[in-house]
Structure 1
Amino acid sequence: MAKAEKATAIAELKSEFEGSNGAVLTEYRGLTVAQLKELRTNLGANAKFAVVKNTLTKIAAADAGVDEEFRALLEGPSAIAFVTGDVVEAAKGLRDFAKANPLLVIKGGFIDGKSMDAGQVGQLADLESREVLLAKLAGAMKGSMAKAAATFNALPTQAAQLAEALRAKREAAGETAEAVDAAPADADAVPAE
């Protein structure tokens, strides 16, 4: 590879690192071209899967500010999935493909400025997608607001019920007092005939 071609490849890789939300490093040894094409299709539009040269990738990663832990994983035949959208979705796609094709090995990743080992990428893949998590958060917030509204609505209702009960009690007490006033003063006395 000519020096100009190497410089261009390094610049492209650096641009990919800087423009992506994350990168998942894999080893693809033994996979066919058809399997790699299937993987690229499964990852969708928010991830770009590229076979890379380790030396050039190490240089580009260093230029992009990627930490040493990630660069240390660049051994053997390497391919990187550069993710521009939901990193969880791409990690799930890679994990599912690796289950079906054991020759694809996830080595680690670099997400939002932090290196991750293969286990952490697997944990990331176990998370629910961003949309599901946002829907759950919105549902929880809606439920909390509904409970608060019910509580605020219950206060005036309870106050009205209490006032009605007090009025009924006073009314009943007032009727009893009127009944006592209307009775003869000496209720025990027997009228004379």
Structure 2
Amino acid sequence: MNGDVTVREVMRREYVAASEGDSLHETAALMLEESVDAVVVLRGQEPVGMLTERDVLERAVETGSLDGLTVADAMATDLPTVTPDESLSGATELISGADTRRLLVTEEGQPVGIVSEHDVVTASTLSPDMNGARSVETDEAMMTDAVAPTAESATADTEYSNQGICEVCGSLTRDLSTFNGQLVCNDCKDV
């Protein structure tokens, strides 16, 4: 993955926001209307949480209805954040380690966008055979190793070849494999 690419280059600057006291039902309707899978929850201008489709669904199943519930009743308060100047590889590590599908991008404590695992994967520079693009260094290394590739060059070429988004559950994983014609993570392969 190209360490020179920053979150600023791939983040979505537009996001939908709600407040803690907003109706959960109305906020879910807004999410559908805006075609977003997450809402940033603000207290004034301060980000205090995030509400995802999954959070709404869990509350609906638990209570049988969204009536009378507020965003605060369903939102996640452990809000993983990243700065716009963080490297794309750093953001990938945060997403992988935080068990989340998106990070709030903040600058000086203010939200400026969202970066999702989909954004990361879409913008990632994977191995040459994955996206058809090669750097000058990769081409030179391949020419140098044309007769007898070294373990080091083979590792560099395949380092991210199994990383991506599972076609079944949609999660970012470092270990994809082909199963029934789809690229799937180990959890979905076992189902």
TM interval, shorter chain, is under 0.3
**Greater RCO between the two (CA within 8 Å, min separation 6)?**
1
Structure with the higher strand share, 1 or 2: 2
Larger radius of gyration: 1
Structure with the higher helix share, 1 or 2: 1
Query: Structure 2-normalised TM-score?
Result: 0.25
